[in-house]
Amino acid sequence: MARKYLVRTFGCQMNEHDSERIAGVLEADGLEATTEVSEADVVVLNTCCIRENADNKLYGTLGHLKSEKDRRPELEIVVGGCLAQKDREVVQQRAPYVDVVMGTHNVGRVSELLEAARRDGPTMEILEATAAADHEAFPSALPAKREQGWAAWVTIQFGCDNSCAFCIVPAVRGPEISRPFGDVLDEVRRVAADGVTEVTLLGQNVDSYGRDLTLRVRGEHDGAPAGTPSHEFVVGEAWLTEREAMCASGRARPLFADLLRAVGSVPGIRRVRFTSPHPKDMRAETIAAMAHTAAVCEHLHLPMQSGSNEVLAAMHRGYTAERYLRVVHDARIGIDDLALTTDVIVGFPGETEADFEATLEVCAEAQFDSAYTFIYSSRPGTEAAEMTAAFVDHAVSVNRMERLRAVIERSAVRANKARIGRVDEVVVTGPSRRDPSMITGLTRHNKRIHLPAPAGVRPRPGTYVSALVTEARMTSLVGEIVDIGDSPVHRTRIPVSAG
């Protein structure tokens, strides 16, 4: 009987994508997936460290697993991800029964590390972020076990060169390193051949993707003939053509707009999404690429964090509220029927009532379709964590959060109501959790929509349908199917163990 594994993910899309790779590696090693801890031979907890509740969730889960480990000593427990990268010794101290602690750059070695733990006892393997570029920065060759056969995440960069005062990412993911242009396209082509129709490009700051690649090519190859295959693989054809036209080394610039156009032209890819851009790096060519590449969805998630210039400066965000609103204006003018979402932090150290009022004003003007809103959470190792004298009282932050949500909800309802009477393209994601007679899907604007299943027909997940929007709710839409496209074709690559 095959051994079984369970992977639980705490965190963002980067963590989810890493979990897919971990699952793929374990299946290549002969394990089968399960959703029950009681059935699992291996439990992997893939962690986040952005907010305090991620710590609480991890240690709470580890507490429950201890009793299972006491009952079944052969159970193997792995803790990976950002929290493991940052607090490796703490994890081992608080949960000495964990078999493997591995960092963010050891995804491909999970089976190897488990074998080492069986042989030598509890194992910790943390590759420092600064060394990742020479190791396994982009484990694109690893097998992946995707939860949705029609959608895939594709990592285009890892790490971050920004210095946001509240963020721990640079410490755990390392400096910003872009994946070669051709490598990204090769993975997109592979997943498209497997039946994937929607890809989401992942990076900590996708706007700046490729700047380091063009710097490298310019620096290493000044005076060398442009257009060689190796150059094109690293930076793409468009930049090389531009460089040749300039009869010079070519300006070092981001390649994200070029990448959007290239990914959007891969046969079989119907939708392209990305997360997350940085407002200070949002360029006109990216807006143009979104507008003119049919596969790129009309949805922009643009993290604002605050509408106060003083708070933005304290956060080291690199833009003002006025600049942020100019980007919003340019995006709405340039991209027809754009949906705009954001992130907002309430109660950042030193935030005054006037600062918060400024945030409300910017949110009201931006007219977001939705927002991820958070009360500031201190993360050890960040600059903001040292601003203890300026911490905002929790009760004040809670009150501000309620007021912020009221503003966001008004614009969300307004945006959803504006879609009533329109026919939207919807990809079916599965049955409704609350009502089995309904199916659920996502529009190109990343809005969830609930649809009555046609009599005798239940479209499979990944099927594209046309739906008339008939009702608007605060966080979703309701509609009726007017046309059903072809059923999806998902091909599953059988992973082969290297052993």
Would you call 156 helix, strand, or coil by DSSP?
coil
Q: Do 283 and 172 sit in the same domain of this protein? A: yes
- β partners of residue 441: 428, 449
Of the candidates 205, 239, 207, the residue with the CA atom closest to the CA atom of residue 221: 239
| pLDDT tens per residue, range 78-126 | 998 888 887 888 888 899 999 999 877 778 889 999 999 999 988 877 5
- Greatest mean pLDDT among 137-141, 215-219, 307-311, 495-499 lies in 307-311
74 vs 494, more confident: 74
Show Cβ contacts of residue 43 under 8 Å, excluding neighbours closer than 6 positions: 5, 6, 7, 8, 37, 65, 75, 76, 77, 78
Annotated binding-site residue? 82: yes
On average, the pLDDT of the chain sits at 89
pLDDT at position 495, please?
45
Same domain, 73 and 120: yes
Residues 289 and 302 in one domain: no
How far apart, in Å, do the first and last CA atoms of the chain sit?
18
Residue written as token pair 């310019």: 218
* Residue 499: per-residue pLDDT: 42
Q: Is 363 annotated as a binding residue?
A: no
Is residue 137 in some structural domain?
A: no
Reported as type and span, the H/E element at residue 124 is strand 123-125
Q: What is the pLDDT of residue 245?
A: 74
Residue 429 contacts residue 442 (beta carbons within 8 Å): yes
Tell me the pLDDT tens digit for each residue of 416-460: 999 999 999 999 999 988 888 899 999 999 999 999 988 878 899
Least confident segment among 70-79, 159-168, 225-234: 225-234
Q: Does position 137 have pLDDT exceeding 80, yes or no?
A: no
Token couple for 405: 């949500």
Cα 314 to Cα 320: distance, rounded to the nearest angstrom:
11
Cβ-contact 279, 301 below 8 angstroms = no
Q: Is residue 77 part of a domain?
A: yes
Q: Of 376, 403, 418, which residue constitutes the final position of a domain? A: 418
Report percent pLDDT > 90 for the chain: 66
Nearest to 213 by CA among 163, 259, 247, 275: 259
- The pLDDT score that the predictor gives to residue 494 is 43
The predicted structure's pLDDT at residue 491:
55
**CA 499 and chain centroid, separation:** 32
SS3 216: helix
Q: Reply yes or no on whether the pLDDT at 14 is more than 80.
A: no
Structural domain includes residue 134: no
Please determine, for residue 206, whether its predicted confidence score (pLDDT) is greater than 80: yes
> Any idea which residue has 């639980």 for tokens?
8
Residues 63 and 84 in one domain: yes
- Distance, CA of 92 to CA of 2 (rounded, Å): 29
160 is in an annotated binding site: yes
Do 186 and 280 share a structural domain?
A: yes
pLDDT of residue 51: 61
Instruction: Give the single-character DSSP code of 67.
Output: H
For 30, which DSSP code? T
Instruction: Name residues whose C-beta falls within 8 Å of residue 258's C-beta, 6 or more positions apart in sequence.
Output: 181, 210, 236, 238, 239, 289
The pLDDT score that the predictor gives to residue 170 is 79
Strand partners, 6: 43
Same domain as 91, residue 174: no
CB 61 within 8 A of CB 53: no
Reply yes or no on whether the pLDDT at 129 is more than 50: no
- Residues 337-366 have a mean pLDDT of 98
- Do 411 and 433 fall into the same domain? no
Last residue of a domain, one of 294, 319, 335: 294
Sign of CA dihedral 422, 423, 424, 430: positive
pLDDT of 61 reads: 92
Give the CATH number for residue 248.
3.30.750.210
Contact assessment for residue 176 and residue 157, using Cβ atoms and an 8 Å cutoff? yes
Task: Say if 97 falls within a structural domain.
Answer: yes
CA–CA dist 19, 146 (Å, integer): 9
**Domain end call among 263, 294, 325:** 294
Say whether both 198 and 222 belong to one domain: yes
Instruction: Tell me how crowded residue 173 is: count the other CB atoms within 10 A of its CB.
Output: 22
Question: What confidence score (pLDDT) does residue 227 get?
Answer: 54
CA angle 105, 110, 114 (to 5 degrees): 135
If you count them, how many residues does the chain have? Answer: 499
What would the mean pLDDT of 331-359 be, rounded to a whole number?
98
How does pLDDT run across 276-306, given as a tens digit for each residue? 999 999 999 999 999 999 999 999 999 999 9
Higher pLDDT: 230 or 61? It is 61
Inside any domain, residue 266: yes
**Residue closest to 489 by CA, chosen among 191, 276, 224:** 191
Per the structure, the complete domain to which residue 453 belongs is given by: 423-484
Q: Predicted confidence band at 65 (pLDDT cuts at 50, 70, 90)? A: very high
Q: Are residues 277 and 304 in the same domain?
A: no
The CA distances from residue 194 to 151, 260, 294, 458, in Å, are: 10, 20, 21, 22
Of residues 493 and 231, more confidence is placed in: 231
Q: Give the pLDDT score at 297.
A: 98
Domain count, the chain: 4
Are 307 and 408 in a shared domain? yes
**133 part of a folded domain:** no
Average pLDDT of the segment spanning 184-195? 94
pLDDT tops 90 at residue 76: yes
With a cut of 50, say whether residue 7 has pLDDT above it.
yes
Residue 175 maps to a domain: yes
Most confident of 101-105, 153-157, 244-248, 316-320: 316-320
Q: Minimal CA–CA distance to 62: which of 31, 32, 39, 83?
A: 83
CATH code at position 316? 3.30.750.200
Q: Are residues 150 and 289 in the same domain?
A: yes
Helix (H) or strand (E) holding 472: strand 464-472
The Cα 309–Cα 366 span in angstroms is 16
Is residue 142 within 8 A of residue 107, CB to CB? The reply is: yes
Q: Quick one: pLDDT at residue 329?
A: 98
pLDDT of residue 131: 44
- pLDDT above 70 covers what percent of the chain? 89
Q: Check pLDDT > 60 for residue 477.
A: yes
Task: Using alpha carbons only, give the angle 385, 128, 152 rounded to the nearest 5 degrees.
Answer: 90
Do both 221 and 96 map to the same domain? no
The predicted pLDDT at position 360 comes to 98
HSE (side-chain half, CA atoms, 13 Å) at 475? 3
| β-bridge pairing 198-202 and 271-275 | parallel
Residue 276 resides in a domain: yes
CATH number of the domain enclosing 429: 2.40.50.140
142 — pLDDT class (breaks 50, 70, 90): low
Which value, in Å, is the radius of gyration of the alpha carbons in the chain? 23
**Residues 419, 479: Cα–Cα separation, whole Å:** 10
